[in-house]
Amino acid sequence: MQRYFVQQQVKDDHFFIDEEDRHHIVKVMRMQIGDQIICVDPDGKQAVCSLSEITNSSVVADVVQWIDESPELPISITIASGLPKGDKLEWIIQKGTELGAHQFLPFSAARSVVKWDQKKAAKKIERWEKIAKEAAEQSHRTVLPNIIHPMTFKDLLKKSKDFDYKLAAYEEESRQGESSVLSSTLKSMKKGETLLLVFGPEGGLAEEEVQQLKENGFELCGLGPRILRTETAPLYSLAAISYHFELLR
């Protein structure tokens, strides 16, 4: 069943859908009165709904049944990625959303080849948000991941104070056989707590960045015996987190 995130609060058990989602329902899916969809409100509440009215500007969907279960991870994960080349960040956002990430934080790392262009910022972030929204709908999420405006490494360190737990993936730790930090951190975490995971760009984190991360309360963690690409490491971590919190229990 098709799912839509509705920004307008539900009123009297009616959802009002407009703009792109209205176009998708009418022009792409070619739905008719009586067809059913799932609507998710800004608070993450979801309901099976029946289309009751279709106009030139909006669609009205009546609540048939509220859905109680939630597909969300019990902890909040923020993926901080050193700006990578090409469309790798789009891949991280799309797949990371499917795997349950709550937030994405791009940052300019010492080894980032890509330089953030403020002139193109609005369009870039709009595209990332659209990718996250479509991935969240496809994977039946009840939360739209937040895309934070790209920041400097210095600002990332300041932002890190907002989190309960902080880890940085560092390939030297993998080479040395470290395998316990990620596992022990997950075992310590409780429902509702927050975790910031930092990943370097191509070439990894620079030594001076690693030192500053450690000075700001980060623990370094390995991700198994193999060295992963910048776009693979966040997905490996999210899969491991899902296994720990959802499959093991």
pLDDT at 52: 95
With H, G, I as helix, E, B as strand and everything else as coil, classify residue 76.
strand
The pLDDT assigned to 176 comes to 58
Spatial distance between the Cα atoms of 32 and 196, rounded to a whole number of angstroms: 44
Cα separation, 237 vs 13, whole angstroms? 39
Specify the pLDDT at position 178.
Answer: 58
Return the SS3 of 138.
helix
Q: Look at residue 98 and give its three-state secondary structure.
A: helix
Of residues 48, 61, 46, 78, the one with CA closest to residue 16: 61
pLDDT attached to residue 85: 93
Question: Beta strands 76-82 and 194-199: pairing type?
Answer: parallel
Residue 177, pLDDT score? 55
Cβ atoms of 192 and 75 within 8 Å: the answer is: yes
Ordered per-residue pLDDT tens for the chain, 249 residues:
999 999 877 778 999 998 889 999 999 999 999 999 999 998 899 999 999 999 999 999 999 999 998 899 999 999 999 999 999 999 999 999 999 999 999 999 999 988 887 888 889 999 999 999 999 999 999 999 999 999 999 999 999 999 999 999 997 765 555 568 999 999 999 999 999 999 999 999 999 999 999 999 999 998 988 889 999 999 999 999 999 999 987
Domains, in order of start, for the chain = 3-67 (2.40.240.20), 76-247 (3.40.1280.10)
pTM over 0.85: yes
